[in-house]
Amino acid sequence: THLSFPLGHDPAPLVVQTRKPVRAAAAAAMRLIVPLQSVVQGRGGLIFGSLIPCALFYFLQLYLKRHRSPKPQSNPPSPTTSSPKLAEMTRTSSRSNLFSRSIGQVRISSRAISIAKPNESPYYIGLDKASEDPYDRLSNPDGVIQLGLSENRLCFDLIEKWMSENLGHSITGRDNGELNINGIATYQPFDGTMELKLAMAGFMSHIMGGAVTFEPSQMVLTAGATPAIETLCFCLADQGNAFLVPTPYYPGFDRDVKFRTGVELIPVHCRSTDNFALSITALDQAFNQTRKHGTKIRGILLSNPANPVGNLLSREMLYAILDFAREKNIHVISDEIFAGSMYGNEEFVSMAEVLDSEGFDKNRVHIVYGLSKDLSLPGFRVGVIYSFNENVLAAARKLTRFSSVSAPTQRLLVSMLSDARFIEEYIKTNKRRLQNMHALFVAGLKGLNIRCADSSAGLYCWADMSKLISSYSEKGELELWDKLLNVGKINVTPGSACHCIEPGWFRCCFTTLAEEDIPVVLERIRKAVENTTDLLNSS
Amino acid sequence: MLSSKASSNCHGQDSLYFLGWQVYEKNPFHEVENPTGIIQMGLAENQLSFDLVESWIRKNPDVMGLKNKDGESVFRDLALFQDYHGMPAFKNELVEYMAKIRGNKVKFDPNNLVLAAGATSANETLIFCLADPGDAILLPTPSYAGFDRDLKWRTGVEIVPIHCSSSNGFRISMFALEEAYERAQKLNLKVKGVLITNPSNPLGTTMTKDELQSLITFAIDKDIHLISDEVFSGTVFDSPCFISIMEAAMDSNLKRNIDVLSRIHIVYSLSKDLGLPGFRVGMIYSNNQTVVSAATKMSSFGLVSSQTQYLLSYMLANKKFTSNYMKRNQKRLKKRKEMLVSGLKKSGINCLKSNAGLFCWVDMRHLLCSNTFEAETDLWKKILCEVGLNISPGSSFHCSQPGWFRVCFANMNQSTLQVALRRIKDFVERSSFNYQQNMGSLSRKLISNWVRKLSSADREEQER
């Protein structure tokens, strides 16, 4: 007997052959197998018609689950552990295995997975390469010259001299000539001892030309400027909020602000036509743009003196920024870590100084400082959060327990920073040597027809190598960076790592060099780009 | 204007644990200058062996002067050293020291060690690595009051307590573990791990190998992590000896080993064992390479000062010093603990039997006027303000039963401890006298009521 399909549907694969005596049974069987037909024939078909597809769908899902590949967020499982298990499961197909946990290594947080990935930024790749094969004039003259790390090695001799004269008793403390370690080892106030805060306040004031006094009670000390920035972000913004940051900016901000806080950074692009000066128009545009996308801006993150450009924010600009912040009701974080590394003739004006003079709302300004640049002690981990906002200070004080300054280091620095004569001499000599190195280096680059942006501070210069790149794009810039690193064997930081919108700019730190190294660097640059025609008029 | 994190009180700093400290700081005890002040018994700090560290420093002026064995200054290298992988020499010494504390029954690889600015920072970093905001960590109670801040505050991770009770000496039972896990499920929280403190704070007890292996099995079963905070591992002064989670894991059959080691993580620090909390030296040890890699990068937020790393690498390299220190420190801790326990016993107060830590878990349930946390808080207030002792109430450790207190003994000298014991004795005697008086009057009242009832009943009968 033929089975009719009145609606002209293609039949499901039918294996049942009907015979007259079992016609009824066959028909029932058919209704199970061909639910559609049952529905059409309207004999209890609706129930079967809905149940059976559901059952089939359910079993399909089970089947898929069993054979699903490991979830993308788990660590890539080693093939040896995962595949045998999968094979086992298809063979046994025991019910209990159907819903077993995903194969592969135990899951860790999504935060950790993204952080653990090897860093692809040229900033970090270059640093690694330079540290693997570091240049040494005598022992490794073919090594990589490190111009990508803003470290100041120019005045170590001064500090070393101070150490040899003072270190012995500075840590253990002089208590009637007796050794007293008791104070060192016990729990200290997590936001730093009052002695160190006092000494730091004095030092910061000195560095900034005495134009402003810092109040120790408004200070919170942290293990470096890195946790200072992160801590402020935790205090001022919630997950999903954002900070405006002028570009180009220090590549480390991406880590400090974004790693764990969930706060975003919105770039505010600055251009070479105004020597990378910040404009309020650009700030405003970025603010409105971001707001339209539904993200709340909580503040502006500035570095002044700027890194990597090295220019300063003028007094007028500071006023304008504070006005803008007040208008939009946002915070201002001013990272002034290079305040003591001035070599230009401009005068550095701290946010604190401006606040002192005019009637600005102090509650929205927070200053970050540290001893890694001005005093060349990045290894000792000493940073400062300076705020006028009592609530921020209260929260930050509690947060510094995750990043306190080590006690022996606090002792040592109290001693060093309180030595007024030494600090005076250090600041003067440091400035002189910085000026000297800067002048030599920039002149040297000029000789290669590479001009630098105007700058007055920092441990680096911002060099325009756009004429030397093959294509005016990030790709071209990275090709040049790669050539300089692998052929020229010098590590510089490409502008793209600093989120610079114009390709071809590179940050070159010159304070890791001695004077004798400069010609070597220049020669290597020349060699690395010698096929580029624009170098024809190099001296 | 502030973030929600900054304005919340999720840091738990408002608990009685921290309030007690504040009251103490306003009126701190001093043997000579302020003999009626409050004695600090709420800070788990080891001050008993400072003299040993001091003498080492005196004998090594060169190291303090940042000079190497040849008398050359290493200052330049130290000043610039900010590698988040940590100083290799320091990490090598640390792993050897850690192995020594564990009787050399486990060996550690310095490449699996990540440094942090104290165990506080290490714990937080580890949670950042293992759990996402909204996930949960199971934590046995009573537990260190600071965990609310270290594990939850910035990470956004929840803590689900595993309730332990005095009925089995506050040990973690499989039943309690499962119950906590189910509770987390009901709250729609994804459990990512269990965190245990071994030796326990505030109990002062160490876990047995069976207990550790049950925990490991549980972790494998539920596909979660197991964090063992072993900051007090060097303060074990009595038997049973300390068994690290790593040792327990090594004992599992090899087939599970690949999986097991990737989910076990140890947190350690030098704050308790070496009595150097001010130095801020903590660490994470893990066999899970992704965790090590992520934690290493996160350690930028809490690097250990290179000067400190240098100092301590020399101190720990001196094996004679470390052996001597460990032995004498443990002896002093044991003696001091026994002094506290016997002193309290004379006042009729018992302590949980402990073999480690810088404190005792004291049973004051019989001094409560009612079996409630309000009564516990009242008692705590009385002891803080009237008796002048800052001890930490069980509620601040999230203990499920009222009446237990943590009393620290290692952060004061012997005479101060004796003063404290005397004060407690006086207080207990006073309270029991009052109690007897109250009880006396109460029983007399009850008897008179009963007599009256009886007599009225008699009269009624008679009247009928």
Q: List pLDDT tens digits, range B231-257.
A: 999 999 998 999 999 999 987 664 466
- Residue B218 domain flag: yes
| Residue where a domain stops, chosen among B292, B322, B352 | B322
- Residue B448 domain flag: no
d(CA B51, CA B54): 5
DSSP for B32-43? TTBTTSBEE-S-
User: Alpha helices of A34-155 — where are they, by DSSP H?
Assistant: 35-41, 45-66, 79-92, 110-116, 122-132
Given a contact cutoff of 8 angstroms between Cβ atoms, the answer to whether B87 and B306 are in contact is yes
Residues paired with residue B264 on neighbouring β-strands, in sequence order: B226
- Residue B357 domain flag: yes
**CATH number, domain at A332?**
3.40.640.10
Given a contact cutoff of 8 angstroms between Cβ atoms, the answer to whether A334 and A367 are in contact is yes
Name the residue among B54, B124, B132 with its Cβ closest to that of A402. B124
Let me know whether B263 and B357 are in one domain. no
d(CA B377, CA A59): 58
Let me know whether A123 and A214 are in one domain. no
Residue-number span of the structural domain to which A222 is assigned: 182-421
Q: Is the pLDDT of residue B133 over 70?
A: yes
d(CA A343, CA A331): 29
d(CA A90, CA A345): 76
d(CA A323, CA A308): 25
Given a contact cutoff of 8 angstroms between Cβ atoms, the answer to whether A109 and A450 are in contact is no
Which chain A residues are within 8 Å of B149, Cβ to Cβ? 398, 401
Q: Is the pLDDT of residue B445 over 70?
A: no
Q: Which residue of B has its CA nearest to A390?
A: B2
- Residue A220 domain flag: yes
Let me know whether A385 and A518 are in one domain. no
Let me know whether A436 and A413 are in one domain. no
Let me know whether B174 and B261 are in one domain. yes
Let me know whether A274 and A337 are in one domain. yes
d(CA B377, CA B383): 10
- Residue A56 domain flag: no
Let me know whether B136 and B171 are in one domain. yes
Helix/strand/coil (H/E/C) assignment for every residue in A424-450 = HHHHHHHHHHHHHHHHHHHHHHHHCCC
Is A164 close to B149, i.e. CB distance below 8 A? no
Q: Is the pLDDT of residue B462 over 90?
A: no
d(CA A99, CA A109): 22
Residues in chain A: 539
**3-class SS at A8?**
coil
Residue B92 forms contact with A (CB below 8 Å): no
Segments in chain A below pLDDT 70: 1-50, 53, 63-105, 168-183, 531-539
Let me know whether A136 and A211 are in one domain. no
Which pLDDT value is given to residue A77? 34
| Residue where a domain stops, chosen among A392, A421, A450 | A421
Let me know whether B219 and B160 are in one domain. yes
Q: Which pLDDT band holds residue B5 (cuts at 50, 70, 90)? A: confident
Let me know whether B314 and B225 are in one domain. yes
Residues paired with residue A369 on neighbouring β-strands, in sequence order: A384
- Residue B96 domain flag: yes
- Residue B140 domain flag: yes
- Cis link prior to B142 (omega < 30° from 0)? yes
Q: Is A460 a catalytic site residue?
A: no
- Residue B449 domain flag: no
Let me know whether B85 and B39 are in one domain. no
Let me know whether B141 and B290 are in one domain. yes
Which chain B residues are within 8 Å of A241, Cβ to Cβ? 3
Q: What is the mean pLDDT of residues B82-89?
A: 94
Let me know whether A496 and A358 are in one domain. no
Given a contact cutoff of 8 angstroms between Cβ atoms, the answer to whether A376 and A434 are in contact is no
Let me know whether A417 and A432 are in one domain. no
Count interface pairs A-B at CB distance under 8 A: 237
Let me know whether A441 and A415 are in one domain. no
Let me know whether A407 and A496 are in one domain. no
Q: Which residue of A has its CA nearest to B43?
A: A187
Let me know whether B116 and B240 are in one domain. yes
Q: Which residue of A has its CA nearest to B301?
A: A227
Residue B261 forms contact with A (CB below 8 Å): no
User: Alpha helices of B189-288 — where are they, by DSSP H?
Assistant: 209-222, 245-251, 254-261
Given a contact cutoff of 8 angstroms between Cβ atoms, the answer to whether A170 and A418 are in contact is no
Let me know whether B38 and B113 are in one domain. no
Q: What is the mean pLDDT of residues B214-233?
A: 94
Q: Is A323 a catalytic site residue?
A: no
Q: Is A58 a catalytic site residue?
A: no
Q: State whether the Cα torsion B431-B433-B437-B440 is positive or negative.
A: positive
Question: Of A263, A239, A262, A231, which Cα lies nearest the Cα of A400?
Answer: A231
| Residue where a domain stops, chosen among A421, A437, A466 | A421
pLDDT tens readout for residues B11-32 = 666 678 888 888 898 999 998 8
Let me know whether B98 and B40 are in one domain. no
Question: Of B236, B192, B433, which Cα lies nearest the Cα of B330?
Answer: B236
- Residue A502 domain flag: yes
Let me know whether A313 and A395 are in one domain. yes
- Residue A444 domain flag: yes
- Residue A360 C-beta-side C-alpha neighbours within 13 Å: 27
Task: Choose, out of B123, B290, B329, B411, the residue to mutate when testing the contact with A (most A CBs < 10 Å).
Answer: B290
Question: Of B322, B318, B245, B309, which Cα lies nearest the Cα of B116?
Answer: B309
- Residue A138 domain flag: yes
Q: State whether the Cα torsion B100-B101-B102-B107 is positive or negative.
A: negative
Which chain A residues are within 8 Å of B311, Cβ to Cβ? 408
Which pLDDT value is given to residue A10? 43
Let me know whether B301 and B345 are in one domain. no
Given a contact cutoff of 8 angstroms between Cβ atoms, the answer to whether A460 and A310 are in contact is yes
Find the Cα–Cα–Cα–Cα dihedral A222, A223, A227, A232, rounded to 10°.
Answer: 10
Given a contact cutoff of 8 angstroms between Cβ atoms, the answer to whether A482 and A230 are in contact is no
Structural element, H or E, at residue B426: helix B414-463
- Residue B285 domain flag: yes
- What is the distance in angstroms between the Cα of B424 and the nearest Cα belonging to chain A? 27
Which pLDDT value is given to residue A49? 63
**Number of domains within chain B:** 2
Let me know whether A146 and A243 are in one domain. no
**CATH number, domain at A435?**
3.90.1150.10
pLDDT tens readout for residues A153-186 = 999 999 988 988 887 665 555 443 333 455 677 7
pLDDT tens readout for residues B43-77 = 999 999 988 998 898 888 888 888 888 888 888 88
**CATH number, domain at B343?**
3.90.1150.10
Which pLDDT value is given to residue B446? 64
> What are the phi and psi torsion angles at A190 (to 5°)?
-65, -20
| Residue where a domain stops, chosen among A399, A421, A443 | A421
- Residue A2 domain flag: no
> What are the phi and psi torsion angles at A19 (to 5°)?
-130, 155
**CB atoms near residue B355 (< 10 Å):** 18
Which pLDDT value is given to residue A62? 72
The mean predicted confidence, pLDDT, of chain B is: 90
Which pLDDT value is given to residue B346? 94
**CATH number, domain at B184?**
3.40.640.10
Residue B71 forms contact with A (CB below 8 Å): no
- What is the distance in angstroms between the Cα of A27 and the nearest Cα belonging to chain B? 48
Is B76 close to A380, i.e. CB distance below 8 A? no
- Residue B451 domain flag: no
**Number of domains within chain A:** 2
Let me know whether B100 and B192 are in one domain. yes
Q: CA-CA distances (angstroms) from residue A304 to A105, A310, A438, A486, B256?
A: 46, 8, 18, 33, 55
**What single DSSP character describes residue A345?**
S
d(CA A182, CA A196): 17
Q: Is the pLDDT of residue B453 over 80?
A: no
Residue-number span of the structural domain to which B354 is assigned: 4-50+332-436
Q: Is the pLDDT of residue B180 over 70?
A: yes
**CB atoms near residue A516 (< 10 Å):** 8
Which chain A residues are within 8 Å of B277, Cβ to Cβ? 185-187
Instruction: Tell me which of A250, A369, A386, A426 is the catalytic residue.
Output: A250
Q: Is A197 a catalytic site residue?
A: no
Residue B4 forms contact with A (CB below 8 Å): yes
- What is the distance in angstroms between the Cα of B270 and the nearest Cα belonging to chain A? 10
What does the block give as tokens for A209?
A: 């030309």
Let me know whether A430 and A409 are in one domain. no
d(CA A120, CA A528): 23
